[in-house]
Amino acid sequence: MNSETAVAVVGVGCRFPEAATPEEFWSNLDKGVVSLRDIPAEDLRRCGVSPEAAAAPDFVTRSGWIADPELFAAEFFGLTPVEAELIDPQQRLFLEACRDGLERAGHLPNGEHGPQVGVFAGASNSTYNTLLQYARARTEGPAAFDDLATQLGGGIDFMAPRVSYKLGLRGPSLAVQTACSSSLTAVHYAVLSLLSEECDIALAGGSGLSYPSVGYRYQPGGVLSEDGFCRAFDIRSTGTGAGSGIGVVVLRRLADALADGDPVLAVIGGSAVGNDGARRPGFTAPSPDGLASVVAAALTVAGTDPADLRYAEAHGSGTPLGDQVELRGLIDGLRAAGARASDRNHCALGTVKANIGHAGSAAGIAGLIKAIHVVRTGHLVPHPMFEHARDPGVLADSPFRVPTELERCTDAGRRVLVNSMGLGGANASVVLAPPPEPVRPAAPVRPVVRLQLSARTRTELDALSRDLADEIDQDRAAPGDIAHTLRVGRQVFAERRVVTAAPDRLAAALRLPRPPAARTVRAGTRRPVLAVTADGEHAEAIRTALLAALGSRTEQHTGVPDALPADAYLIVVGEGESGPGRYVIPAADGADPGDRIAAALADAWLHGVPVDARAFDDGSGRRVTLPTYPYTRRRCSALDDSVFDVPGAARQEPARPSAPADRPAGLEGELVALWEQLFGTGGIGPHDTFGALGGTSLLGLRMTLEVQERYGILLNLHRTGGSQATVARVAEAIRGASDRTETEGADGGTDGASTEAAGASRDAALVDADLALELPPRAPRDTPPGTDVLLTGATGFVGAFLLHELLQDPGHRDSRVYCLVRADDEDHGRRRLREAAARFRLPEPDPERVHVVPGDLRDVAEVCETYRDGELARRTGHVVHCGAHVVFTEPYEVLRPANTLATYHLLGWMRRHGITDISYISTLAACGQALGSEGRLLERREQPLDPEAGGYGISKWVSERLLDKAERDGMRVRVFRPGLIGGDTTTGACNDLDMLWRLVAACLAVGAHPADDMPLPVAPIDLVARAVVQLGREPGSAGRAYHLVGAEATTFAALFAELGALGAPTRPVPVAEWARLAGRRALETGDPVLSTMALYETHDLDTPRVDVEARLWGEWLRERGLDPRLDGGRALQALRHLAGHPTFADLLTDVTEGA
């Protein structure tokens, strides 16, 4: 490879099926994921595909589609919603991908004095704009096809220029169109442009997105396959699959990239393009001779010996002719470049089409991005669905073989070939080499690192901070290099943040961006003023360094000016004190002057002063790949109101938002108008749910207060459905409350309790049905029971502590713990377990002992059955079932699938495999007062159903009855019923979603608490988890229930009295007054915790107001000398933990620091 002509790939931006980032795409490839899925029936119907047509044997509804292609950051790119809707989604996504690629490369979209950046791109024909023109032609006639805005939005000529326009790029900007090989051909011409120095950086790629996805009718002998899959090079393949993709690579001359410390992912050693000419059966038919000449040319340009090839990314059309021609062309091309006939099977062969289908004009760039991963990591990714070669003899006698499992290549000299073939005979080939070692030194290691972040809005800035914290936790880049990249490779916006911390504290400071570690300012443009009041060479050196960064237009003084204009920012070199709008650098204080200067410039930047990042360049610091901008995207689709006829069916008019005249009359109409005002949108119907419309706790508070003011009714949003509340249900609740205040003879219309009654009736029917469920017979076990544990709910609060205790418990020292985790794969699940541990200040789970079982709780039986070919059934001896949908405000029918039915299916799986031991985490809310219990909840298995129980308590009560059935023929069942759960006795870690702590935090924030002496049956989380684990393995615990609460419950009033004695005082006020105080503060601040709790009613804690018997657990506690009582000290410890959480920081920081 010639170093003078080598080109580096320094960044990637992409969107592929089931992959929104390069990392997700590469992970899918490593696992052999096939991302071809059935198009939802509703999408087909909306596009005019009748159910009959979709059900036809020859109609294929499988496709590789990109999730949410309608979502776009229009405002970020300076487009109005109307303008954005006229642009084809594939072109909008390509624009985002280009900017993402530049950010990943650590380069700014250039300004007037930046590098010349070129754009080379190919796009597929726009089905979106064709359909838009078709829809408009119905009302506008043929003139719709001449609309310039629509043509600009969908024309393939305009995709590359739009990127240059929106990102301010001044290099060549070319549309490259060679059908399927467009994007790889674009890479070839981008390389040539770089080598001829037409540009310094090049963006090359393409887009292929058919929107909307509509399926197709299979035609034997055609390009598209019979079942929607692409099994290239396999004898079963009948064509390619319909796919989609957006991809772009950022390219630089290798020497420049290494000198600047760019993140080189791979090196393009050579490329070539050509056409098959006339020597082929037809215009769309490929030619092995034409392909071979292009492959040989690319290898020759790269100076690559074919024997060094370890992977070839083929076009892989999947058609019988296409596969045969390509395989022959590749073989002949390698041999023309010097491959020996004896060189066999040293080069793996595959195609990305097997994973994502045919991405149209983006097919070549999809293959290249896959190949970049292969050559960079040495991962020879599997070729999915390959079983038997179409031409086994030809393949066996060739340099190629098809891997079906992930393989690893460690050859330092490995090379990768990428091939792409376009209809019409346009071939393109690229040869890749691994990235060389960096030559630019890394940033020096310093005790303190200073990060500069900015965004358009505070919400996006906070999201960027969290993403960056997650990246730092991965420990993939040095903190100094991260700081360097943020400084030189990010666009600057008004919302700015400077985070200054030791390297091991950066992530925490980013997640909780509070002074002094983090300072955040919404900055306008300010001009620099420099006052050097000190004398000597040291002061002069500082002045020179500052001017290099601030620019020659800096206003300079030898003394501190008496007055400065409002838009000035003052830096003083000499004596003085820093303050708002000024920063003082002592001229001779012994501190590192370089760090002082950097701190001053960072503060100036924070407050809006333009700072030239090049002034920091001391020859060290590498650009590293960091998270990209967290766009706020909104739906942009001009087709939403369009209807496409179903052949042979009556034409349906589009569903449009209801006009005001279409609103229901009376109370419902008034409430619809109120909801439209609150949500800021029209077309809300009486049965649209609060959650689906985007309802938040603050919106719920505003609606409740507005209802109270208009109708004199204090509405309980939870009782009207919570997230499932509708205008109709709210109207019925208002009528019902009104009816109860009027005489019996008043004309109340609807029965006041009809909403709750209807829901209760549905729930009652479901409870009866579930109580009648029969478990399958318990099968005998042929082998000894396993010794490992299956744990559900391990990423939740209780589950995370259970996992920790299982790993610490001597009785489980030699056991594995299998954790059912809702995750895409095992890596994702492990990440979720680590995140849960970090959130609750627990050690990271031991990856050697903890095994992730990816799956949803609602599918628990199927997931357990299929995991690693039955491994769970063989190894599991004990199940700890903690997983549940924990929401106290939802009805039983909503919670039933994840709570009751999941327990039923889990028991069924256990019984089929002879697994007999289970510990079940229930709740005190599943208990009722038995006759003669004298106001106590008895600690026994049999419990009456509390008539006041909510949906969560009912779901646990029904699950306990299923466990009773499981016990009848020998299963060993233990039931643990926690009440309220306190913080860890050592760290204070508690659940930030817990209603108890939200209520306490809200009370402290407003300085008052409801005058309510309700008991608080509570216990610390670490003692709860330890009891479940230790009691769960004791033989005598089977058949018992344990109430995990203190024998003597503290009360609401006593807790606040103790907090007050510790320096966190509140005053008792009536509940209604407390609600007014909290509501007013919530509306003033928009705080989500206050908004949730402002409508507080004591039953929302879902805890019993009676004594709770806890005799059995009490014995366990006494034997170990443990005290579960929640006193003021433990409560304050938990609140201090919560103060470190972004949701609570504003409420609690001052309170807990003062206590």
Which among 66, 12, 122 has a CA at the least distance from the CA of 356? 66
Q: Please state, in angstroms and as integers, the Cα–Cα distance from residue 350 to each residue in 230, 399, 408, 580, 936, following that order.
A: 11, 13, 15, 61, 69
Comparing CA positions, the residue from 597, 592, 587 lying closest to residue 534 is 587
pLDDT at 753: 41
What is the Cα–Cα distance from 474 to 482, expressed in whole angstroms? 13
Helix axes 727-740, 754-771, angle to 10 degrees: 110
1079, 1094 in Cβ contact below 8 A? yes
Contact partners, residue 578, CB within 8 Å, separation at least 6: 584, 603
Measure Cα distances from 1076 to 330, 704, 1011 in Å. 76, 12, 14
Query: Splitting the chain (1155 residues) into consecutive groups of 10 residues, what average pLDDT does each group show?
Result: 88 96 96 94 83 90 92 91 90 96 90 83 89 78 76 89 94 95 97 96 95 88 92 94 96 97 97 91 84 96 96 95 93 94 92 96 97 98 95 92 96 96 94 97 94 93 93 92 95 94 92 86 92 90 93 91 88 85 81 85 94 86 96 87 49 39 71 81 82 73 74 69 79 70 35 45 78 91 90 96 95 92 93 95 95 94 92 95 87 91 96 96 87 72 80 93 92 95 94 88 90 86 96 91 87 90 90 80 80 61 69 92 91 91 81 62
CATH of the domain spanning 985-1020+1047-1155: 3.40.50.720
State the fold for domain 524-619.
Rossmann fold (3.40.50)
Assigned fold of 7-433:
Peroxisomal Thiolase; Chain A, domain 1 (3.40.47)
pLDDT at 663: 58
Beta bridge partners of 240: 224
Q: Which of 190, 162, 163, 159 is nearest to 175 (CA)?
A: 159
Biggest CA-to-CA distance, the chain: 101
The predicted pLDDT at position 644 comes to 55
Say which residues have a Cβ less than 8 Å from residue 710's Cβ, sequence separation at least 6. Answer: 670, 674
Identify residue 722 by its one-letter amino acid code: G
Handedness of CA 592, 595, 601, 603 (dihedral sign): negative
User: Measuring CA to CA, which residue among 265, 339, 321, 326 is closest to residue 291?
Assistant: 326
Measured in degrees and rounded to the nearest 5, phi and psi for residue 354 equal: -65, -25
CA distance 625 to 481: 10
How buried is 278 (Cβ within 10 angstroms: 0-12 exposed, 13-18 middle, 19+ buried)?
A: exposed
Do the bridges between strand 415-422 and strand 426-433 make them parallel or antiparallel, or are there none, so unpaired?
antiparallel
Please list, in sequence order, all residues whose beta carbon lies within 8 angstroms of the beta carbon of residue 311, skipping any fewer than 6 positions away.
Answer: 347, 348, 349, 350, 371, 374, 375, 380, 409, 414, 416, 417
Is 441-522 assigned to CATH 3.40.50.620? no
Measured between alpha carbons, how far is residue 1030 from residues 10, 877, 1033 in Å?
A: 53, 15, 6
- pLDDT for the residue numbered 184: 98
Chain centroid to CA 15: how far?
A: 14
DSSP states of 318-333 as a string? -SHHHHHHHHHHHHHH
| Chain centroid to CA 437 | 32
- b/e map 916-940, b = 16+ CB within 10 Å: bbbbbbbbbbbbbbeeeeeeebbbe
Q: Sign of the C-alpha dihedral, residues 20, 24, 30, 32?
A: negative
pLDDT of residue 698: 66
Pairing of strands 266-275, 7-15: antiparallel
In CATH, what number does 660-752 get? 1.10.1200.10
Residue ranges of alpha helices (H) inside 236-319 are 254-260, 288-302
Q: Which one, of 105, 148, 99, lies nearest residue 119 by Cα?
A: 99
Q: How far is CA 137 from the centre of its chain?
A: 40
Task: Give the pLDDT confidence score for residue 799 in this predicted structure.
Answer: 97
Which run of H or of E encompasses 1090? helix 1088-1093
Q: Where in the chain is the domain with CATH 3.30.70.3290?
A: 441-522
Please give the pLDDT value at position 760: 54
Report the C-alpha gap between 618 and 544 in whole angstroms: 15
pLDDT reported for residue 648: 41
- The whole-number pLDDT of residue 947 equals 66
Spatial separation of the C-alpha atoms in residues 607 and 601, rounded to whole Å: 10
Minimal CA–CA distance to 36: which of 208, 207, 240? 240
Consecutive H or E run containing 769: helix 754-771
pLDDT at position 807, please?
Answer: 95
pTM of this prediction?
A: 0.60
Task: In whole angstroms, give the CA distance from residue 1111 to residue 409.
Answer: 62
**CA-to-CA dists, residue 183 to 135, 248, 284, 414, 1080, angstroms:** 30, 8, 18, 24, 57
201 vs 256: CA distance, rounded Å:
10
Taking the C-alpha atoms of residue 534 and residue 540, their distance in angstroms, rounded to an integer, is 9
The token pair at 306 is: 């074919």
pLDDT value for 718:
62
Q: Which pLDDT value is given to residue 110?
A: 66
Give me the pLDDT at residue 662, please. 55
* Distance in angstroms (rounded) separating the CA atoms of residues 703 and 684: 15
Domain with CATH 3.40.50.720 in the chain: 985-1020+1047-1155
| Neighbour count for residue 680 (Cβ, 10 Å) | 7
Residue range(s) in the chain whose domain bears CATH number 1.10.1200.10: 660-752
DSSP code per residue over 419-444: EEEETTTEEEEEEEEPPPPP-SPPPP
- Within 1008-1087, where are the H helices? 1021-1032, 1052-1061, 1071-1085
Nearest in space to 700 (alpha carbons), one of 678, 685, 727: 678
Please tell me the distance from the alpha carbon of residue 381 to that of residue 403, in angstroms, as a whole number: 7
Q: Are 117 and 200 in contact (CB under 8 A)?
A: yes
Helix/strand/coil for 924: helix
Angle at the Cα of 1014 from the Cα atoms of 1008 and 1019, rounded to 5 degrees: 100
- At residue 855, what are phi and psi to the nearest 5 degrees? 165, 170
- Which residues, in sequence order, are CB contacts of 442 under 8 Å at separation 6+? 478, 480, 481, 620, 621, 622
Q: What is the spatial distance between Cα 1138 and Cα 1004, in angstroms, rounded to a whole number?
A: 13
For residues 136 and 660, the answer to whether their CB atoms sit within 8 Å is no
* Predicted local confidence at residue 1015, as pLDDT: 83
SS3 state at 486: helix
**Dihedral (CA of 37, 42, 43, 49) sign:** positive
Residues 43, 67: Cα–Cα separation, whole Å: 13
Q: How many Å apart are CA 529 and CA 465, to the nearest integer?
A: 30
Torsion angles phi and psi, residue 418, rounded to 5: -120, 130
Contacts of residue 382, Cβ cutoff 8 Å, sequence gap at least 6: 32, 350, 403, 404, 405, 406
Half-sphere exposure of 880 (CA within 13 A, CB side): 28
Q: Of 1021, 960, 979, nearest to 1107 (Cα)?
A: 979
- 362 and 208 Cβ atoms separated by less than 8 Å: yes
